Structure 1
């Protein structure tokens, strides 16, 4: 029963964090609130202690979150920024392992070189979820945010693969760069292929099942979707490949399979709402678990050091500060060099003033916050060596990693708003033009389809029925003609059409809300039952969602 109560308490904490962040009189990033809640729950008087099992954590939380990130990330932008993403996700990770690894070994001699490399490897992955929670929606320019999300999506795998080789070197004392490089390629390609294959197989099965079941209950298909990241992760790990890359590849493959576009509308809506809830719960629990571990890891180490000598406390804090500074310095230099080389290449192609922007480099540097992957990785360090002796420096490595996570989050909370203040974006939404094009062409296609249906239907009707069909056709077609009028480049007609559409939307929203109030009144007086209410309320909710979504579009 204890584990049941623990899970319920964690779920309650996630819910309270979502409500509490809106009730606070000042703006605080949600991840920071959740970490604080976790630290509060770790208070000894509450008696709540959650043992952080890295293997269980990696299996339970990481695959669905990476799958959802891979599913959501814009594939076109990911491909367009592939060079920058790979240079950060691969190049910076391995540079961090080498440079920061040697630095940690020199700074803390008790940590052997392989363990220093392992610590640097777990410190290299960044956390895009924490970043978006800290920076806020649409505060970071879209192009830069795509790069940061792509980096966070890919560097989890590269960092953990580097960790695997570092631990093997620490346990065996043997390391071969050639063998490690070849193994990395095999592990990465195997994971990517496994994830893509599992996602494709699911899409084939789902289409066949949908063909038999028709517009039935979409729940079985949604449940199968929930199993994809876990299946991808487990199959890849069982084969010795990267389970993380398998989960990422499965998510990215979802947009290229028919399951994302075919099938009942109800199934897609149910899947989207289910995954939105899963992301919120799992992300919240990840940060609350982080908060639960920090008092035990940081507090215990500092108290133990304080009992030895006050100077030792300063030394431990100095380790955290020095490693954090080394990580930020290396990231700043690496990003600046990448932008410098990109600017030099742009100059060769005739682009003037293509110099690396200091603010962009600074934002990219500060945006490299560390998160749960780092803690899970460092806690997976073996307790003993192959000869049975304790792994030297393990506790110090865990303390440094935990301290860097906390410091990087605090730095981002303070520095990002300052760096982003007054940063003017390019003005218009970069996707506004293509959204306008899509809306225009889809409306034109709808008008042509209505005409085809009218021609087919009217051919089989008598004169009176044909006239009625023409009237209905004109009424339906008028909706799309007015929509096209709002998208025209001529300013005055478009403004008139937009005002008319806004008035119509206002009236429709008032009508829908009156419908909803009437339905609730009928249920309260027992004139309709809950089943009828739920069915009709869903229809009104969908209609209002479509209207409000349409209203948010600005031509």
Structure 2
């Protein structure tokens, strides 16, 4: 019963934080508010949670990493693969070594292996936090795609490095050659297991759906189980469960391109996964806030003076920022050099975009989840050295990077004139026109098939004409001049607003009928569902 109460309290805190951040008159990063709510719970109540690192790792990380791999734009990921790999792998190793040595030099009480473990969990960035900060200011689409790709890969690489550093701290031994070989084996094995689990599950699903039909609830449940299955299968074979979860998400994206679900299943699945993401991210920060008082007390015992704790946090944040800025600058110079070798034009990058790329290294839920998985004790039973200090420093870096990003990114990007990226709009228009053309041809084919030999064939022709009308309008709109096309788009937008207003009135009328007991619940649900689907399509 106590565990159930704990879960309910966490969920209430996550929901309350979401409402509070929306009601706040000033922009406030949600993680900071959630940490504050967790700390308030610890100080004001007897609420206490004992975290088991391995269980925490299993429950929180696989679904979050799976979702990152599933939803990240794949074309941008492969288009900028070189830049993303430089940031996600090269920068991670650079950060682990540079910041790890710096932390050990600054805090001798923290063993070198633990310092490397802390640096490893500080290396992943959080694209959700960056997106929330950048929502108020312009940011180049391509830069955002690079940051998202970096986050996806550095989540995995950073957490794999954490495992190696933790193992070194637990055993007291480390071999670079052995670690590199192990890294390659566990990485490739984890990726293979993740892909195979997803493809196998989707294949079985397709066979079952073809035989018994599709059930949205079952499809969603299976999608929720895939990341855990991939993670546990990889760990069973001593591969990287982290990379297995990421690879399973990427494979899920490609599998769904070939085995399409019904529209209702896709909508419900997206809503469920949005809820999972909000809940897990929020619960991580609330849990940290709840443990913050005890962590602070124990962390203070590791250092000579309590006032040194914020100094350490600031020093680590500055070290991370400077290392990231140096790496981004070096990566840019390498890109320019390659462009010159190929005889292409020299890439033009404004210094503010360069600085924004560095400031966008905001830490978030993955960093926090990783540091909370540090073991509680060494194999001989003694407490894991400097564990609470590492957790406190990671928490301080997260808060400082969130606040710093919220304050500095808008300043750096304000007034930035971005190059026009109209190829996205053109690509979307072309795709819509091709889809409309395919729809018209299919409607004509089905119409002739259904009306063949029937006396009322004219009814089918009229129905087909009505069905094809919106597609013909879309195709005709693509053949207009620029001025005519702008007028056409304005008319479409006005029509969209009018149709949304009509759908709203339609729904309210149905609710009035139900309140007057003139409509059955089942009929109301079905009709409102149709209106909701139409409204969702118009707002897409």
* TM-score over 0.5 for the pair: yes
Contact preservation (8 Å) 1:118, 1:163: yes
Q: Larger deviation: 254-263 or 478-487?
A: 254-263
Q: Which residue is 1:26 aligned to?
A: 26
Deviation at 1:172, TM superposition (A): 3.1
Pairs within 5 Å for 1:103-502: 103-136=102-135, 139-215=138-214, 217-258=215-256, 261-298=259-296, 301-302=299-300, 312-354=305-347, 356-386=349-379, 390-462=383-455, 465-502=456-493
Cα deviations by residue, 1:425-476 (Å, 9 ceiling, x for unpaired): 22345421110110011111112222223333444234xx333433333332
Which residue does the alignment assign to 1:539?
530
Where has structure 1 moved over 6 Å in runs of 4 or more? none
Q: What is the distance in 1 between the residues matched to 2:394 and 2:491?
A: 58
Query: Do the aligned partners of residues 477 and 115 (structure 1) sit closer, same or farther apart at CA in structure 2, a change above 3 Å counting?
Result: closer
The alignment's TM-score, normalised by the length of structure 2, stands at 0.93
- Displacement after TM superposition at 1:133 (Å): 2.7
| CA gap 1:29/1:316 in 2 versus in 1, 3 angstroms | closer
- Report the CA distance shift for 1:246/1:367 in structure 2 as closer, same or farther (over 3 A): same
**For the residues of structure 2 that align with 1:247 and 1:9, how far apart are their CA atoms?**
28
How far apart are the structure 2 equivalents of 1:64 and 1:130? 18
Structure 1, unaligned stretches of length 5 or more?
550-555
Query: Cα 1:504–1:411, aligned 2, differ >3 Å: closer, same or farther?
Result: closer
Structure 2 residues not aligned, in runs of 5+: none
Residue 542 of structure 1: how far off its partner (Å): 0.9
CA distance in 1 between partners of 2:156 and 2:88 (Å):
9
Q: Distance in 2 between matches of 1:49 and 1:175?
A: 36
Greater RCO between the two (CA within 8 Å, min separation 6)?
2
Q: In 2, Cα distance between the equivalents of 1:377 and 1:506?
A: 46
Q: 1:212 to 1:375 in 2, by over 3 A?
A: same
Using the alignment, how far apart are the partners of 1:397 and 1:253 within structure 2? 35
Partner of 1:15: 15
Is the contact made by 1:71 and 1:253 (CA closer than 8 Å) also made in structure 2?
yes
Distance 2:499 2:348 in 1: 51
Residue in structure 2 matched with residue 553 of structure 1 by the alignment: none
Shift in alpha-carbon separation, 1:454–1:386, aligned structure 2, 3 A:
closer
Displacement of 1:91 in angstroms is: 1.0
Tell me what 1:39 maps to. 39
Alpha-carbon offset, residue 499 of structure 1? 4.9
1:17 and 1:33 in contact (8 A); partners too: yes
State the Cα distance separating 1:54 from its structure 2 match. 2.4
Q: Secondary structure at the match of 1:257?
A: helix
Q: C-alpha displacement at 1:509, in angstroms? A: 3.1
SS of the counterpart of 1:241? Answer: coil
CA gap 1:137/1:208 in 2 versus in 1, 3 angstroms: farther
Q: Which moved more, 1:322-331 or 1:170-179?
A: 170-179
Q: What do residues 219-259 of structure 1 show as CA deviations (whole Å, max 9, x unaligned)?
A: 11211111001111111112111111111111111121147
Greater mean alpha carbon deviation, residues 272-281 or residues 246-255: 272-281
How many Å separate the matches in 2 of 1:101 and 1:506? 55
Q: How far apart are 1:495 and its partner, in Å?
A: 4.4
Q: What CA distance in whole angstroms lies between the structure 2 residues aligned with 1:429 and 1:11?
A: 42
Deviates more, 1:120-129 or 1:433-442: 120-129
Change in CA separation of 1:371 and 1:459 when aligned onto 2, cut-off 3 Å = closer
Listed one character per residue, the Cα deviations across residues 120-165 of structure 1 (whole Å, up to 9, x for unaligned) are 2222222222222333278432211112122221222222222222
Is the CA contact 1:339–1:355 (under 8 Å) kept in the aligned structure 2? no
Instruction: Tell me the distance in 1 between the aligned counterparts of 2:534 and 2:391.
Output: 52
How far is the alpha carbon of 1:186 from its aligned partner? 0.7
Q: Distance in 1 between matches of 2:371 and 2:262?
A: 44
Aligned counterparts of 1:263 and 1:380: Cα–Cα separation in 2: 36
CA distance in 1, matches of 2:170, 2:449: 76
- Distance in 2 separating the partners of 1:258 and 1:393: 45
Rounded to whole Å, the distance in 1 between the matches of 2:382 and 2:470 is: 76
Distance in 2 (CA, whole Å) between partners of 1:93 and 1:107 is 20
CA distance in 1, matches of 2:130, 2:2: 33
SS in 1 for 2:260: coil
CA distance in 2 between partners of 1:339 and 1:413 (Å): 25
Q: How many matched pairs? A: 540
Check conservation: 1:165, 1:180, Cα contact below 8 A: yes
Question: 8 Å contact 1:78–1:147 — kept in the other structure?
Answer: yes
2:306 match: secondary structure: helix
Q: CA RMSD in A?
A: 2.4
In structure 1, C-alpha distance between the alignment counterparts of 2:537 and 2:376, rounded to whole Å: 56
Tell me which moved more, 380-389 or 165-174.
380-389
SS of alignment partner, residue 61 of structure 1: helix
Shift of 1:538: 0.2
Corresponding residue for 2:78?
79
Give yes or no for contact 2:137–2:414 (8 Å, CA) kept in 1. no
Query: TM-score, structure 1 length as denominator?
Result: 0.90
Q: 1-side partners of 2:417 and 2:32: how far apart?
A: 27
**What is the deviation of 1:546?**
1.7
Q: Does the 8 Å contact 2:136/2:410 carry over to 1?
A: no
Q: Residues 471 and 38 (structure 1 numbering): CA distance in 2 closer, same or farther, change over 3 Å?
A: same
Alpha-carbon shift at residue 272 of structure 1 (Å): 1.5
* Residues 378 and 397 in structure 1, CA contact (< 8 A), matched pair in contact too: yes
